[in-house]
A and B are shown apart, each in its own frame.
Chain A
Amino acid sequence: MAYLPMRLLSIVIVMLFLIVCQDPAKARDWTEILAAARGQTVYFNGWGGSEVINRYISWAAEQAGQRYGVTVKHVKVADIGDVVSRILAEKSGGRTSGGSVDLMWINGENFHAMKNNGLLLPSYTQLFPNYPLVDTENKVSTLFDFTVPVDNQESPWGMAQLVFLYDSEIVTDPPADMRELLQFSQNNKGRFTYPAPPDFYGTTFIKQALLELTTDRELLYTPVNSARFEAVTAPLWEFLDSLHPHLWRSGKAHPKSAPEMKRLLADREIFISLSFNPAEASNAIATGELPPSIRTYVHDGGTIGNTHFLAIPFNSSAAEGAMVVANFLLSPEAQARKSDPAIWGDPTVLALAKLSPEQRSLFEAIPLGAATLNPEELGAVLLEPHASWVAAIEKEWQSRYSK
């Protein structure tokens, strides 16, 4: 029992430390954060639908344990909304510390809602040693998540851009914009579809159509304007009205998600699918999920792009550990591994120009994959409309097509 006093002492030290560090967001030295993180267990909550991504996270968890003494537990969920609900229940139950979620994978509307309801830790990413490497200049969505200022309340993790996947064995000349997509659907009845909103991908497809078709794009970047909603979205509904009869199942049923569309593409039910990951096709070919004939294309004039983030809830019980993990996931090493299509193929948020030559070579060594477009081919990135448009568009969509 000789170790007991030592143990007590260490508990007292830890307690004192916790009292001192009550507000992890206060400007603090990174070495202090590293010290506090050691021994913590970080519950990382995120969508767990992809073995490829799950494998990458378990690699990162291993690294975090070896390098920083942080245990990472990956909590796989079918829908991150469940996790938002849980944090909300914790807030309702008065739990302002000792929460069950330490790090979560979110962006867009979920971030917007969590930020507005005070469910996130105040700004902290500015403390990360790797944060200065983020390409905030060219990748504006790392600062504005669906136009909502990030304010250092979530750490950029990966880039996304809407791309279309097609079977090059069947489709020789993929559509170059929404009008051509409509033509394609008219000529190939039942061979294209999109997920029903509120699925994330369905909503994105509709926003993409809106951005391409509306005459007043600027208005979409301000909070939704109910007075002008009808005029701004009129071309969209006209387009969808003419598209729907030619969709898969004549538009009477929609897939529930983009993953389901990927299955339909593999099953040859549809010829064109969509994804948010430009390297998804290459990755799925590598795993055998999609045939080697699948290729990627984007619309002329650009497609919607955004950033996905890692955020720490306000009541995290291991905020320092979560910061250390998020910072590690921002490191050139972790980011390069993530962008390899053989591993995951998720584009980096870092600016290659800000990296050292050795760090840059990590990225340059990665083969792009036959089905992945290079940055020039990917073309312009369109910014997400203001987050408030989503609810308005979904509502209108439902009253038109989901009765």
Chain B
Amino acid sequence: MPGQRSRLKIFPALALAIFLLPILAGLLFTWAPAFGYLSAAGSTHFSLEPFATLLRHPSLPGALRSTLISGVGASLLSLALALWIAATLYGTRLWSVIELSLAPLLSLPHAAFAIGFTFLIAPSGWLIRAVSPYPSGFTYPPDWITAGDPWAVSLTLTMLFKETPFLLLMIFSGLSRLDVRRTIMIGRSLGYRRLRIWTRLIIPQLYPMLRLPLLAVLAYSLSVVDLAYIIGPSLPPTLAVLIDRWFNAPEISSRLVGAAGSLLLLFVTLACIVSALALEYLISKVGSRKILDGRRQSPFEVLVPTGSLYALVLLAVNLFSLLALILWSVAHSWRFPHFFPTRFSLTNWSTPLRQLLEPLSVSALAALLSCLLAIILVVGCFENEQNLARTRIASISQRSLWIIYLPLLIPQISFLFGIQVVLVIFHLDGTWPALVWVHLVFVLPYVFLTLANAYRSYDQRYSYVGMTLCGGPLRTLFRIKLIMLAKPILFSMAVGFGVSIAQYLPTLYVGAGRFATITTETVSIASGSDRRVMAVYALTQLLLALTGFLTAIVLPAAMFRKRKAMQN
């Protein structure tokens, strides 16, 4: 079917066009000020002065240190711990509990979690309140550094607890492509203990599917702004926060330094990605020699119970952060050392509910549109891929598809200012197409990531049977394949829906103030002091994201009510 193939070819090309051109333009227009060019500020000559100012800045070394500790620490730790949970808990009841909790864990927005988590660990927070004034003797909160510590430990922990569920999701979807049950059986029959089966047999097969998610987590952790504001160090803050401040500073000229800083952050991120890949290469070199040494036991086998310990901590931290938010949202006053609010009130909910109607609908519409576009493009790309695989033609567009992951690997702050200028030039800022597009840029890679394993492991023979029975590849696609894949498709759309809802900087830079979303409203209210109202906004944001996941769970259940084989 040459016609079909050439039609499908458009999908990777389209996906690439959506990403490559604007991001390149965005990068260029952000780099121009880094080299001294910002016509609006009357600076029109090439100079390296912004870089000199950046490198001389007293906060730079400390900011880089915090950025590296929290970014590299959080991503490596969350990968290690997610794998540890999988290796130690696979097949247990806790493992199924984790699988069930993934949807709510993923829909808890980063900033909301950070606010709740800060309230847990602060010296005036819930943990200390639990023991105050008895038996701790604290009538006033102790002057300890917990949240916002200068070593970025609390920031690292926040990201660790937030990124582990995402990597677990990727592990779940990766494992669905491997025949884990039988691998474990064979391993056991050969006398391998649990950890050895995972390190020698499963993880080597699983890791290639985790590589991109890990790099995405790495890039995200290095460049995150909102979490670093809430729970990051303050003297100095992380590099991303410094850059954000330079872009916001009253002196117009500091935007040049901000642009130089964003180039530095891009460089740091790329350097970390390359190091991670080098580390992976090294481990696989060393590991591939050891993998055949025949040892059945690992000395770490005694540590297996710690897997459930970490899993429980992860669940508890998320649960209690959420509970704290819920209590704050209905509190009137709740001072130290009271463990529960001393007065309750529902008025916190009354004003926002009226004001949040419009932001909620804007968020939902943007998320829905970007998800639908994303799923069309992603399914198109996969279909093209499978077509090519069948005909064994490797195409350039297919091989360059990794570019759609670019938005996950490049710090947002490195290209958004430039994108804003480009959109202004073409009079596209503040328009729906621009908003949906910028969300799509971030939604698509996540939809791609979460759907890839399920889609690629689909048994094509169903489609062949379908084609012989009723003809038409399109008919087969819509009547058989997409229906059979409805569950993973809807779940990946729910992930995309959540990603779209969470977009703050892209909405801000592209929206021209025309689109108030639940997230822009939450971030602006979070710049204030009232924790009660913040909790209301954060919970509303959570509810919207959760609606997406619930739909993705309930809809297939309803669709397959009468099809037993589809109900698992």
Interface residues of A (CB under 8 A from B): 43, 45, 47-51, 54-55, 58, 73, 75-79, 81-86, 88-95, 100-101, 108-110, 112-113, 116-117, 189-191, 196, 198, 248-250, 252-260, 262-264, 266-269, 284, 287-289, 291, 390-391, 398-399, 401-403
Q: Does B267 contact A (CB under 8 A)?
A: no
On chain B, the residues within 8 Å of A196 by CB distance are 234-235
Partner of A58, one of B41, B58, B355: B355
A352 to B41, CA, bound (A): 41
Decide: A249 and B527 in contact? CB cutoff 8 A: no
A319 to B78, CA, bound (A): 52
Which partner residue on chain A sits nearest B229 by CB separation? A256
Decide: A248 and B528 in contact? CB cutoff 8 A: no
Decide: B533 and A83 in contact? CB cutoff 8 A: no
Decide: A391 and B41 in contact? CB cutoff 8 A: no
30 A–B contacts from the bound complex (CB under 8 Å): A43-B513, A45-B513, A48-B527, A75-B513, A78-B524, A78-B526, A79-B527, A84-B248, A86-B512, A88-B252, A89-B417, A89-B421, A93-B421, A100-B513, A101-B513, A113-B250, A117-B41, A249-B143, A249-B145, A253-B150, A253-B235, A259-B529, A260-B529, A268-B335, A269-B123, A289-B529, A399-B58, A401-B235, A402-B58, A402-B62
Decide: B528 and A288 in contact? CB cutoff 8 A: no
Decide: A198 and B249 in contact? CB cutoff 8 A: yes
Decide: A289 and B530 in contact? CB cutoff 8 A: yes
Tell me whether A82 and B250 are in contact in the complex, defined as CB-CB below 8 angstroms, given that A47-B527, A249-B143 are known contacts: no
Decide: B41 and A88 in contact? CB cutoff 8 A: yes
A112 to B251, CA, bound (A): 9
Decide: B124 and A49 in contact? CB cutoff 8 A: no
Q: Does B164 contact A (CB under 8 A)?
A: no
Q: Does B243 contact A (CB under 8 A)?
A: no
On chain A, the residues within 8 Å of B521 by CB distance are 48, 76
On chain A, the residues within 8 Å of B41 by CB distance are 88, 117
Interface residues of B (CB under 8 A from A): 38-42, 57-59, 61-62, 122-124, 140-141, 143, 145, 148-150, 229, 233-236, 245, 247-252, 255, 332-333, 335-336, 343, 345, 351-352, 355, 417, 420-425, 427, 429-430, 508-509, 512-514, 516, 520-521, 523-533
A75 to B524, CA, bound (A): 10
Decide: B508 and A82 in contact? CB cutoff 8 A: yes
On chain B, the residues within 8 Å of A262 by CB distance are 529
A173 CB to nearest chain B CB (Å): 18
Decide: A84 and B250 in contact? CB cutoff 8 A: yes
Partner of A259, one of B245, B508, B527: B527
On chain A, the residues within 8 Å of B40 by CB distance are 88-89, 91-92, 117
On chain A, the residues within 8 Å of B124 by CB distance are 264, 267-269
B64 CB to nearest chain A CB (Å): 12
Decide: A100 and B343 in contact? CB cutoff 8 A: no
Which partner residue on chain B sits nearest A100 by CB separation? B512
A100 to B345, CA, bound (A): 38
B293 CB to nearest chain A CB (Å): 48
Which partner residue on chain B sits nearest A399 by CB separation? B58
On chain B, the residues within 8 Å of A117 by CB distance are 40-42, 252
On chain A, the residues within 8 Å of B333 by CB distance are 288, 291
Decide: A48 and B430 in contact? CB cutoff 8 A: no
Q: A-B contact count, CB below 8 Å?
A: 197
Tell me whether A78 and B527 are in contact in the complex, defined as CB-CB below 8 angstroms, given that A43-B513, A101-B513, A189-B143 are known contacts: yes
Decide: A267 and B421 in contact? CB cutoff 8 A: no
A194 CB to nearest chain B CB (Å): 12
Decide: A49 and B141 in contact? CB cutoff 8 A: no
Decide: A253 and B251 in contact? CB cutoff 8 A: no
Decide: B417 and A85 in contact? CB cutoff 8 A: yes
On chain B, the residues within 8 Å of A258 by CB distance are 529
Decide: A86 and B513 in contact? CB cutoff 8 A: yes
On chain B, the residues within 8 Å of A398 by CB distance are 57-59, 236
Partner of A92, one of B38, B141, B249: B38
Decide: A253 and B143 in contact? CB cutoff 8 A: no
A21 CB to nearest chain B CB (Å): 22
A108 CB to nearest chain B CB (Å): 7
Which partner residue on chain A sits nearest B352 by CB separation? A51
Decide: B38 and A403 in contact? CB cutoff 8 A: no
Decide: B529 and A263 in contact? CB cutoff 8 A: yes
A112 to B417, CA, bound (A): 22
On chain B, the residues within 8 Å of A198 by CB distance are 245, 249
Tell me whether A263 and B531 are in contact in the complex, defined as CB-CB below 8 angstroms, given that A77-B524, A91-B40, A288-B333 are known contacts: yes
Q: Which 8 A-B pairs have the closest CB atoms?
A: A81-B248, A49-B528, A93-B424, A190-B143, A259-B529, A109-B250, A48-B524, A267-B124
Which partner residue on chain B sits nearest A395 by CB separation? B58
Decide: B526 and A49 in contact? CB cutoff 8 A: yes
A270 CB to nearest chain B CB (Å): 9
B340 CB to nearest chain A CB (Å): 15
Decide: A267 and B141 in contact? CB cutoff 8 A: yes
Decide: A269 and B351 in contact? CB cutoff 8 A: no
Which partner residue on chain B sits nearest A52 by CB separation? B530
On chain B, the residues within 8 Å of A267 by CB distance are 122, 124, 141, 335-336
On chain A, the residues within 8 Å of B149 by CB distance are 253
A300 to B62, CA, bound (A): 38
B56 CB to nearest chain A CB (Å): 10
Partner of A54, one of B248, B345, B355, B417: B355
A86 to B424, CA, bound (A): 9
A36 CB to nearest chain B CB (Å): 22
Decide: A110 and B345 in contact? CB cutoff 8 A: no
Which partner residue on chain A sits nearest B241 by CB separation? A256
A191 to B57, CA, bound (A): 30
A266 to B343, CA, bound (A): 14
Tell me whether A255 and B234 are in contact in the complex, defined as CB-CB below 8 angstroms, given that A288-B343, A399-B58 are known contacts: yes
On chain A, the residues within 8 Å of B249 by CB distance are 81, 198
Decide: A49 and B525 in contact? CB cutoff 8 A: yes
Which partner residue on chain A sits nearest B336 by CB separation? A268
Partner of B528, one of A82, A86, A252, A259: A259
Partner of A49, one of B123, B421, B514, B529: B529
Decide: B250 and A110 in contact? CB cutoff 8 A: yes
A76 to B235, CA, bound (A): 28
A189 to B333, CA, bound (A): 26
Which partner residue on chain A sits nearest B348 by CB separation? A51
A264 to B234, CA, bound (A): 16
Which partner residue on chain B sits nearest A43 by CB separation? B513
Tell me whether A89 and B247 are in contact in the complex, defined as CB-CB below 8 angstroms, given that A51-B351, A398-B236 are known contacts: no
On chain A, the residues within 8 Å of B248 by CB distance are 79, 81-82, 84-85
On chain A, the residues within 8 Å of B423 by CB distance are 93
A90 to B527, CA, bound (A): 25
A76 to B358, CA, bound (A): 13
A116 to B249, CA, bound (A): 14
On chain B, the residues within 8 Å of A249 by CB distance are 143, 145
Decide: A47 and B150 in contact? CB cutoff 8 A: no
On chain B, the residues within 8 Å of A291 by CB distance are 333, 335
A92 to B40, CA, bound (A): 5
A113 to B254, CA, bound (A): 11
Partner of A78, one of B58, B234, B424, B523: B523
Apart from the given pairs A79-B248, A93-B421, 5 other A-B contacts in the complex at a CB distance below 8 Å: A252-B235, A253-B149, A253-B150, A259-B527, A289-B529
On chain B, the residues within 8 Å of A191 by CB distance are 143
Which partner residue on chain A sits nearest B144 by CB separation? A249
A370 CB to nearest chain B CB (Å): 17
Which partner residue on chain A sits nearest B528 by CB separation? A49
A90 to B426, CA, bound (A): 11
A54 to B537, CA, bound (A): 14
Partner of B424, one of A54, A90, A101: A90
On chain B, the residues within 8 Å of A269 by CB distance are 122-124, 140-141, 143, 336
A204 CB to nearest chain B CB (Å): 14
On chain A, the residues within 8 Å of B429 by CB distance are 100
Decide: A402 and B247 in contact? CB cutoff 8 A: no
On chain A, the residues within 8 Å of B526 by CB distance are 49, 78
On chain B, the residues within 8 Å of A260 by CB distance are 529
Tell me whether A252 and B145 are in contact in the complex, defined as CB-CB below 8 angstroms, given that A47-B524, A81-B247, A267-B124 are known contacts: yes
